Amino acid sequence: MVATNPNAQFPPHNPSAPFNFPKAEEEVLAYWKEIDAFQESIRQSEGKPQYSFYDGPPFATGLPHHGHILMGTVKDIVTRYAHSNGFYVERRFGWDTHGLPVEHEIDKKLNITSKADVMAMGIDKYNAECRAIVMRYSSEWRRTVERLGRWIDFDNDYKTLNTSFMESVWWVFGQLWKKDLVYRGMRVMPYTTGCTTPLSNFEAQQAYKDVQDPAVTIAFTLKNDPKTALLAWTTTPWTLPSNLALCVHPELTYVKIHDKEKDRNFILCDKLLTALYKDPAKAKKDKKYELLETYKGKDLAGWTYEPLFPYFYEQYKDKAFKVLVDSYVTADSGTGVVHQAPAFGEDDHRIAIANGIVSKEDMPPCPIDERGIFTSEVPDYEGQYIKDADKNIIKNLRERQILVAFSQLMHSYPFCWRSGTPLIYRVIPAWFVRVEGSNDKLVKNNLDTRWVPSAVSTTRFQNWLQNARDWNVSRNRYWGTPLPIWASEDYSEIVCISSIEELNELSGCGTLTDLHRDKIDHITIPSKTGKGVLRRVEEVFDCWFESGSMPYAQVHYPFENKEKFEKSFPADFISEAMDQTRGWFYTLLVLSSHLFDTAPWKNLIVCGHVLAADGKKMSKSLKNYPDPNLIVDKYGADALRLFLINSPVVRGDSLRFREEGVKEVITRVLLPFLNSFRFFLGQVALLKKESGVDFKYDPHAPLSSNVMDRWILATCQSLIKHVKTEMEAYRLYTVAPRTLALLDDLTNWYIRFNRRRLKGENGIEDTTAALNSLFEALYTLARTLSAFIPFVTETVYQGLRVYFPDDTKTLNVGADVRSLHFLPFPEVREEYFDPVIERQAARLQSVIELGRVIRERNVLPLKTPLKELIIFHPTAEYLDDVKSLLPYVEQELNVRQVTFTDDEARCGIKYKAGADFTVLGRKLRKDIGKVKAALPNLKSEDVKAYLATGKINVGGVDLVEGDLTATRYVELPAFKEGDATKLESNTNNDVVVILDTMRHPELEEEGTAREVVNRIQRLRKSCGLVPTDDIDVYVSFADEDAKEGEELLSCIAKQQDIFSRVLKRVPMPKSRLNAGPEAIVTEESVEVGSLKVVLTLVRV
């Protein structure tokens, strides 16, 4: 993109107009587009140290959801922050365009159910259909991502279907081949009949459902004893036609019993008689069965039995249909005898090979096609889907009296994550990357990286790595990167290709521009051993192999960008959701460890999952979550971004998405920030109007002598330092809480305490110093939070930019100040730190917060003046700290007298002790009862002495420091009618404040005046008036309220100072109004106490 208007001006901010966050964000986006802000920021950082980032590619066949928005926000924050800290950060969007997600869409569209359907259609046409939809929602993705404020390059993206990407995938595989890390094996794999392909082990973990399956106990009759049968239990009756053996545990005990009802002998594990009898002990007592013999499992080895079905008897009669032993058998469920179908069980296959029933190269009985349909090898069930055949197989076994027991079992079962069909395990010839044997290397390489949160790495991911199996990287599909393997018919001669050039050299095919199956399957390579020609194997790569290759393939390494890649590898940062511990994170690590013996990332943030408000998975069909685009349209992207980042999901936990939570971000964070900025604009305009002074920010102004100025600036530096520390540790979730605290300090403390100064009460010099401090606080906040909330910070920055000094070089932020996002992250100004001032301000806040609570408890509004506040603390330093800020105490708590004291007796200070009896009980044991009984009777002076000495005797038991917790409290005399004071206390166990809550008539008029001011200010705000608007106020009353009205007018006359100071004008009776109707801004009835007053605002 090229800037359409590099000299564009940001729209001026109107502080009196209603503010709509989504619309304001649209203005920011338009401005960024005009000046080409993202690409300009990249250009400005060229030549700086590189910060590398890998973006995991999503599929564009579906629309972005809240999970994508979360991860996009995390990535945007980290990369924006890195850019602002002096790095060149290339950010390219990537697209996953191959594999089952795409093919499944086409299979549904064209009703394709088998390989024959694809062959009849033609792979070229099938792949063309796939290609047509891979970017179906790319424009929606771009619109959503850009609307969220994420800066990433869509124009220079990468796609896994690009020939350059696919060639690098071939190179990766070729390197593994050369290192003997690839082999072809016959292995039982998770298999999806819905998508007709095997899956890797980690894909099989992605979708479990609770389902009911038939559980059958089957009698396998012994050949040499027709009255005795071994009992085996299974939940997959459809595998019974392929049975070749039974397996028992060598050390378990097995019993031969005679069942009286069935008049047959059965052999099963002695601990699992529940397979036959609900209560085996009762059944034995009732003589339902008789114990005949006892064996160890190893005693049964080699016993032969009659096959259940005849289908594979002739082929295997000399080596199968016998009892095998293996320790994988358990006594947890079933009968302790496991039916073996080597084609459909990993252990079954392993044990059959170990006992010579099948060989590694042979395909064991597997009478189903790729769709899970029985073939002609099992004529009785030919054409039936395996799960549908269960009931017919069970019926057959029941009729032949082979079925001994039947029930339905509810259990968790894996399903295909794409088609939703139940997975089966079946033997498949497939291509594997060796992982077993490299587990320790994977663990070591991973431990050299930083994970946030770290526990995911050291538990979940490490456990997965330690037990990782060889990785099946081949898929019997069509739309993907083809395996670059050409082999003879018997696989005795195999060539692995690593590049287009190598394929051309060996085959003479010419320079290829497309590597998909339909473009290369016809290519042959002459055999070097007299085998005729070598043909490409049918399989394509698992799309996880492609995404795991993206660090190399996105830049066409090593064919291009070799130096660029090697300088930026491993990546400084990657991030995805928790499920990628068994997906992208895993495949990245395996390939990088095999290629370069290192992890491909240095820092990794793993997030939890975003769930619906009810805790369930977000579902389009259930419509149990709000459309993210509608959320952004309603509240804005900043609110959504900050809601997600300030949630448990960034700490690896799940988040229940609540629309109310997004709304709360506006009220708690964005609005206070915006209102502080608007307040600043109002006071700057007021300074210009009343003094003719044009405010300009002075970045090198001498340190203010005002404590509150120094305090807010020091607090800002603390925020900068905190954000730097936390972002360098990739702990994004700690930033928002600290930001909230600073916003509270800014709005509820600094601005509130300094309104009079900012309005010019102490003269131009003091006002300018206060405005400079407020400007710097807002400017610092905007720069510090720019990566988190890029829109509102840009809006505030553009409003502040008007007040930059004429020579912007003095700002030391670079030459281009057109956008906040061109500026570096602020440096900490150490000279602003002053521990004494920070201590004083903290103590002031404590006193005021305690006083506010007393007012709230007694329903005493701040505008009601009170006579006296007593502040107690035992140290002079504390009292002096608060005394130095006395005007703020008087103003904020609206008290006429403040008394400081360290006299405990005068304030009724007492001490009491408590204990954690659980902890103390472990120390005292039997003496704890004595302490419990005596503790309530401890005298105050004894507890105080304990605080000083750390020793005390309670109930005859000596205790030391740490055994008890001492608390200071206040014991005041009870209030009696006629008392001159009514004292209430509050403490934080450090300072004690005592407030006289008695209302005094001589102070009531001042309170009334403050209430009138409050009503006028509210009315001005509701009319959109700003401080520079000159307004006269007139008051009137209903006839019946004339007497009370006269009293209010008298009050206004007496309290003129308050009105003049705050409003610059004193309200007048409406009888003095001479202006015409056109001058009246508004007229509204309000309540002052119980009196209804009509306020008329007139423009001067």
Which of 95, 171, 544, 749 is an active site residue?
544
Which of 584, 601, 711, 749 is an active site residue?
584
HEC string for 67-130: HHHHHHHHHHHHHHHHHHCCCECCCEEEEECCCHHHHHHHHHHHCCCCHHHHHHHCHHHHHHHH
CA 494, CA 491: separation in Å to the nearest integer?
6
CA 773, CA 699: separation in Å to the nearest integer?
10
CA 843, CA 878: separation in Å to the nearest integer?
7
Q: Are 431 and 536 in contact (CB under 8 A)?
A: no
Please name the helix (run of DSSP H) or strand (run of DSSP E) that holds residue 1032, with its range, or none: strand 1031-1036
Which of 15, 57, 364, 672 is an active site residue?
57
Known catalytic membership, residue 584: yes
Which of 15, 55, 76, 96 is an active site residue?
96
**Closest among 142, 164, 144 to 153, alpha carbons compared:** 142
> In sequence order, what are the beta bridge partners of 655?
610
Tell me the two tokens of residue 625. 């979550």
My answer on whether omega of the bond before 15 falls inside 30° of 0, hence cis, is no
| Residue bearing tokens 């939570």 | 661
Q: Are 415 and 422 in contact (CB under 8 A)?
A: yes
The runs of H, that is alpha helices, within 698-834 are: 707-728, 735-744, 752-753, 755-758, 764-784, 790-801
For the chain, the first-to-last Cα distance in angstroms comes to: 51
Which of 48, 125, 209, 620 is an active site residue?
620
Known catalytic membership, residue 620: yes
Q: Are 992 and 907 in contact (CB under 8 A)?
A: yes
> In sequence order, what are the beta bridge partners of 900?
871
Which of 340, 462, 580, 1055 is an active site residue?
580
Known catalytic membership, residue 175: no
**Residue 1044: exposure state from Cβ atoms within 10 A (0-12, 13-18, ≥19):** middle
Residue partners of 404: CB distance under 8 A and separation at least 6: 217, 218, 219, 231, 262, 266, 276
Burial letters 5-41, b for 16+ CB under 10 A, else e: eeeeebeebebeeebebbebbebbbebbbbbbbbbbb
Which of 617, 623, 688, 721 is an active site residue?
617
Within 10 angstroms of residue 402's Cβ, the number of other Cβ atoms is 18
Known catalytic membership, residue 57: yes
Residue partners of 741: CB distance under 8 A and separation at least 6: none
HEC string for 649-716: HHHCCCEECCHHHHHHHHHHHHHHHHHHHHHHHHHHHHHHHHHCCCCCCCCCCCCCCCHHHHHHHHHH
Burial letters 654-676, b for 16+ CB under 10 A, else e: ebbbebebbebbbeebbbbbbeb
**Closest among 576, 648, 660, 645 to 613, alpha carbons compared:** 660
CA 768, CA 392: separation in Å to the nearest integer?
91
CA 636, CA 655: separation in Å to the nearest integer?
20
Tell me the two tokens of residue 501. 């050039």
Known catalytic membership, residue 96: yes
Residue partners of 906: CB distance under 8 A and separation at least 6: none
Known catalytic membership, residue 996: no
Tell me the two tokens of residue 1055. 């309290």
Known catalytic membership, residue 926: no
The three-state secondary structure class of 164 is helix
What residues act catalytically? 57, 96, 544, 580, 584, 617, 620
